[in-house]
Amino acid sequence: MTIRQGSNYEPGSEGGLRGWQLGVLAAGTFTLGVDGFVLAGLLPAIADDLSVSMSTAGQLTTIFSITYAVGSPVLATLTGHWDRRLLLGGGLALFLLGMAGQALAPSYAVMAAGRVAAALGAAAFQSNAYVMAGMLAGSERRGRALAAVTAGTSLSTVLGVPFGVLAGQWFGWRAVLWVITALAALTAFCVPLLPRAHVPPTSMRARLGVLTRPAVLMVLLATIVVLAPPFLLISYLPVVLGMDGTEGRLVVILLAFGLGSLVGNRLVGRLVDGRGALGVLLVAVAGLAVSFALLVPAREEYGAALAVLLAVGAFQGLSITPQQHRLFVVAPDVATVALGLNGSAIYIGSALGAALGGVTLDVAGASTIPAAAAVLAAAGLALIATTAPERRPRTAATPVDTAPTGPAPAGPAPAGPAPGQPRPLMDSSPSTAAGSAAACTARQRESGR
């Protein structure tokens, strides 16, 4: 299967998107991630301003999660033949409208409606960002392309917590939402500079039949069991460590978790491309299980807990990209729908982990939560290990041929760098997203001449 590329697809980018183009996608996932992480720190101010209880304000997170989980696969199914660029721009536009509505919300009902709109926009953007990056990259560099986009989310875990707490205290929660709206607008401004990309038409029956494929179901189940253990712990980390939610040491530990996630994401692309997605995933889940077990004795010592949470973040950073890569392999013809379902599985896994953490806390106490997370991660490792491993020869025949039409092979284009030289177009570092805005502005000026 090939992706039809528009006339604005630049020479020299045949092996995938350029670095600044991946930066645009990473900037989008960063913006969506900040929105997700920042809300928890703003809930007290939102509840007070809208005259609702904290528990009612907390339902805003649930509203977003449910809307995203349901909307992501539905949108992917209904828009399977659309230009990916249109879906990226439209998703960001809907997201920023939802955020602006929340920033202006005079009541809780309007705020909730804004969360629904923002969730639908996020669902439209996020799955298609991974589809565009992964499909245009080709099988040999797909891991690095997916990791580049995921870097935006990883960076948001580092910046989201302090940004939400500090900016909310200094400027108010509405100002924070306006900043997120502005970030979405800047990213949307750059989307027209991405290449047009159409996935060849797939029948509605095939798209609706994704969940009847055992291989897809096993990968989605793996996503749930991979995400549940970290959220089982992180959701109740203050009580596990015996720290107050406003304590500075807790913020440092959460930042260490986010930094570890960045490190894991920085490594995962090349590991997946070189070692295979399944092997990297097994190492990541095994590392999570061991880290959770180590936290049982380490939770009472600040330095030890800090080191363990850094490791937890790193192993979690290694766990997301392999799942996306596996879905490209097992469902190449309906990757958009499969990745949309994977987004739903991520939210289901996080919600399941938080729920299991609450049950564990009520039944056995906070001290048993790390052990429960370790057991759940070990069970997930056993489940993933028993699934059929991906065959690398099939990966080479994946759905995308990004080479020019003609007798040339579908490998790296001759116009690209010589073998052994680094190719900047798949840089998965967060700096890719940071530098994309300047590149977009310059290209907009050139296109206007």
The pLDDT, as a whole number, for residue 106 is 95
The pLDDT, as a whole number, for residue 428 is 42
What CATH number is given for 210-390 in this structure?
1.20.1250.20
Q: What angle do CA 384, 293, 319 make, to 5 degrees?
A: 35
User: In the 3-class helix/strand/coil scheme, how is the chain assigned residue by residue?
Assistant: CCCEECCCCCCCCCCCCCHHHHHHHHHHHHHHHHHHHHHHHHHHHHHHHHCCCHHHHHHHHHHHHHHHHHHHHHHHHHCCCCEHHHHHHHHHHHHHHHHHHHHHCCCHHHHHHHHHHHHHHHHHHHHHHHHHHHHHHCCCCHHHHHHHHHHHHHHHHHHHHHHHHHHHHHHCHHHHHHHHHHHHHHHHHHHHHCCCEECCCCCHHHHHHHHHCHHHHHHHHHHHHHHHHHHHHHCCHHHHHCCCCCCHHHHHHHHHHHHHHHHHHHHHHHHHHHHCHHHHHHHHHHHHHHHHHHHHHHCCCHHHHHHHHHHHHHHHHCCHHHHHHHHHHHCHHHHHHHHHHHHHHHHHHHHHHHHHHHHHHHHHCHHHHHHHHHHHHHHHHHHHHCCCCCCHHHHHCCCCCCCCCCCCCCCCCCCCCCCCCCCHHHCCCCHHHHCHHHHHHHHHHHHHC
Hey, where are the domains in the chain? 8-200+430-449, 210-390
Check for a shared fold between 8-200+430-449 and 210-390.
Answer: yes
Calculate the alpha carbon distances from 392 to 272, 364, 441 in Å.
11, 44, 40
The pLDDT, as a whole number, for residue 436 is 52
- Stretches where the chain sits below pLDDT 50 are 1-15, 391-435, 437, 441, 447-449
Q: Give the pTM.
A: 0.72
Fold observed for domain 8-200+430-449:
Growth Hormone; Chain: A; (1.20.1250)
Pairing of strands 197-198, 4-5: antiparallel
Distance CA 50, CA 35 (A): 19
Q: Is 51 exposed, middle or buried (0-12, 13-18, 19+ CB in 10 A)?
A: exposed
Listed residue (251, 181, 193) closest to 41, CA to CA: 251
